[in-house]
Amino acid sequence: MENLREKIEKLLLKVKSPSRYIGGELNSVVKDKSKVDVRFAFCFPDAYDVGMSHIGMKILYSLKNARENWWCERVFAPWTDFEELMRENHIPLYGLESLDPIKDFDFIGFTVQYELCYTNILNMLDLAGLNVLAAERNENDPVVIAGGPCVCNPEPLCDFIDLFVIGEGEEVNIELMELYEEMKKSGEYTKKAFLLRAAGIKGIYVPSLYNVSYLEDGRIEKVVPVCDGVPEKVTKRIIKDLDKVFYPESFVVPFSEIVHDRAVVEVLRGCIRGCRFCQAGFIYRPFREKSTGTIVNEAKALCESTGYEELSLASLSTSDHSDIEEMLTEMTGYTEGERVNLALPSMRIDRFNKNLMEQLSKVRKSGLTFAPEAGTQRLRDVINKNIDEEEIMSACRTAFEGGYAGVKLYFMMGLPTETDEDIMGIADLAKRIADLYFNMKNRPRGQKLSISISCATFVPKPFTPFQFEPQISIDEINRRQKLLLDSTKGKRYINVSYHNFRISILEAALAKGDRRLGAVIKRAWERGCKFDGWDEMYRYDQWVNAFADTETDIDFYSHRAMEYDEVAPWDHLDYMIDKSFFVRENKKAKEGKVTKSCREACSGCGVNKASGRECFG
């Protein structure tokens, strides 16, 4: 029989960017499979270029491979050209390290970073030669697991996944694989027995062990465990001491260019801000930092092992690190000498100053992006962005004085309580920034001013104060987008771009969905939906058909306001934040009242009690 590698190689020259499909990248881990006890296929349900940019995958890949008798491999969704050839030539989905079919692995694990990759999960299971439905898979098929931010509401995926990992993965993944290895060795392993025992591990949610009942109006009545030994609520896992947690010393370095093609050090987890629309700001609490020394050492090790010419200090809000100035000084001391470009992707407007900017532009000057999120102070207070206009202006002034002639501004449209005034406020803000620029004597010469406005549609997400909020209708989004375009007309220095709002509506439904959406996702996939996050691939019409085929009302999920006391599909998962806090914050939002950052005053979200550690001090 022709081996799989030969079959693959015969097709590679027919597809775009073939180096994505054959492995062999620097630092990829290859083991002798006769000496391996547990094989794990780490799947990122999107293209290689996107998946290879993901830091969580790099952490868990290295962590699992640190065990001599475990082998973790990378798997991505093949782009459509290669998928077609794989299906034609009967090539099953394989791991990039061994080029073996993942159907024969022990675990298939998906990291679920955004809702729009759900159909890719089904497609990858199918390409692997497995039934997409967990209940239909065999005893000998791999255990299919999933983790990542989206599994804070895993309900729409329950039909397809055997178990979910809730919260941070570094410890619980190891415990899960150890349990598996132990049960295999002792002969106790059956999939059913394993799932039952796994459900006893803190942070593991086995959906088949819970029953969901519904009220007559379609809302959820209750979610209850089917047997003893299964917790009523599954609490997320967190790493208590971030400074000591495992971090890889090397990354797999791809040949082809990927989205974030650089070394990345995670500098902190959680966020002190509490922006009311932001899911990451709540589900990753509590706020924890790495020390400057650890960050610098990890950065050096990574740059040396990869040869990357760019280093990124990543987190939800890097400028909120308590030691940011000292850290940047030490870091640039190293990066300048090595001619490595330093990138700080998440900078807050109110923390941006001359010193920060100079550190950033020392080696190479990249663009500046700020996120005011809303056009008026009233609305910024509603969403608790805690930034005022003077801070925005001051940041722009600093940037212009520093030689930047362009800024990129992120906004959201369709936020709760938003009026036309708020939309026009976006245009007014851009115009005032332009006035500031034109009135500056020391503005950069020889460059044209450019203000880019990037406008996303608000998507209500679980575990946020806005989880109760409906999304506005398609017609209304359409009208507001036109309004913004009209208000920026004639200003050639303003450039407005949008996200496709038809994608945002699906995103809302999937984010807030329950188990009944499993049938819709399956139907959409059967109708050919995949890569839904890619504008050119998104098939809104097919999703509409899938909802119709399954007699499911998308508006029930995306456009309906939820009651405070309603049982949400995700209420049996505990992300260490009290629901009463979200209710309180939602009410404050409606009153336009802000909540201070965690560093200034504890807002009482409950995470310190649940995690058994004080957030500060």
Q: Summarize as ranges the residues that interact with another protein (CB under 8 A).
A: 12-13, 17-19, 22-26, 253, 255-257, 304-309, 339, 363-365
Q: Please classify residue 111 by burial: count the beta carbons closer than 10 Å to its beta carbon, then call 0-12 exposed, 13-18 middle and 19+ buried.
A: buried
Structure tokens, 568 = 């949400």
Q: Which residues pair with 406 in a beta bridge?
A: 450
Q: Which is nearer to another protein, 174 or 253 (CB)?
A: 253
Report phi then psi at 381, rounded to 5. Answer: -70, -40
Shortest Å, Cβ 268 to another protein? 27
If DSSP codes are grouped into helix, strand and coil, which group holds residue 522? Answer: helix
Shortest Å, Cβ 448 to another protein? 18
Q: Which is nearer to another protein, 232 or 304 (CB)?
A: 304
Q: Which is nearer to another protein, 306 or 319 (CB)?
A: 306
164 sits in which H/E element: strand 163-165
Shortest Å, Cβ 495 to another protein? 23
Q: Which is nearer to another protein, 26 or 440 (CB)?
A: 26
Q: Which residues of 590-608 are buried (b: 16+ CB within 10 A; e: fewer)?
A: eeeebbebbeeeebebbbb
Q: Which is nearer to another protein, 255 or 438 (CB)?
A: 255
Structure tokens, 572 = 């049996």
Shortest Å, Cβ 439 to another protein? 28
Structure tokens, 261 = 């093609």
Shortest Å, Cβ 194 to another protein? 36
Q: Which is nearer to another protein, 217 or 257 (CB)?
A: 257
The Cα 336–Cα 70 span in angstroms is 38
Report phi then psi at 288, rounded to 5. Answer: -140, 140
Shortest Å, Cβ 478 to another protein? 40
Q: Which is nearer to another protein, 256 or 603 (CB)?
A: 256
Q: Please classify residue 129 by burial: count the beta carbons closer than 10 Å to its beta carbon, then call 0-12 exposed, 13-18 middle and 19+ buried.
A: middle
Sign, CA torsion 389/395/401/403: negative
- Extract the runs of DSSP E, i.e. beta strands, from 178-262: 204-205, 210-214, 220-225, 234-235
Write the DSSP symbol of residue 288. E
* CB of 450 closer than 8 Å to CB of 491: no
Beta pairing, strands 268-269 & 288-289: antiparallel
Length of the chain, in residues: 617
Query: Which residues neighbour 1 within 8 Å (Cβ) at sequence distance 6 or greater?
Result: none
The alpha-helical segments, DSSP class H, found in 248-320 are 280-283, 292-306
Q: Which is nearer to another protein, 24 or 367 (CB)?
A: 24
Q: Which is nearer to another protein, 222 or 364 (CB)?
A: 364
Give percent helix, percent strand, percent coil of the chain, each to the nearest 5. Answer: 40, 15, 45
Shortest Å, Cβ 93 to another protein? 19
Q: Which is nearer to another protein, 3 or 19 (CB)?
A: 19
Shortest Å, Cβ 334 to another protein? 14
Shortest Å, Cβ 9 to another protein? 8
Shortest Å, Cβ 24 to another protein? 4
Report phi then psi at 385, rounded to 5. Answer: -75, -25
Query: Which residues neighbour 43 within 8 Å (Cβ) at sequence distance 6 or greater?
Result: 75, 76, 102, 108, 109, 110, 111, 121, 124
Q: Which is nearer to another protein, 244 or 365 (CB)?
A: 365
Shortest Å, Cβ 260 to another protein? 14
Beta pairing, strands 38-44 & 107-111: parallel
Q: Which is nearer to another protein, 18 or 92 (CB)?
A: 18
Q: Which is nearer to another protein, 305 or 454 (CB)?
A: 305
If DSSP codes are grouped into helix, strand and coil, which group holds residue 459? Answer: coil
CA distances 436 to 31, 398, 431, 445, Å, are 60, 11, 9, 15
Shortest Å, Cβ 49 to another protein? 12
Shortest Å, Cβ 202 to another protein? 40
The Cα 284–Cα 270 span in angstroms is 5
* CB of 510 closer than 8 Å to CB of 156: yes
The Cα 445–Cα 31 span in angstroms is 57
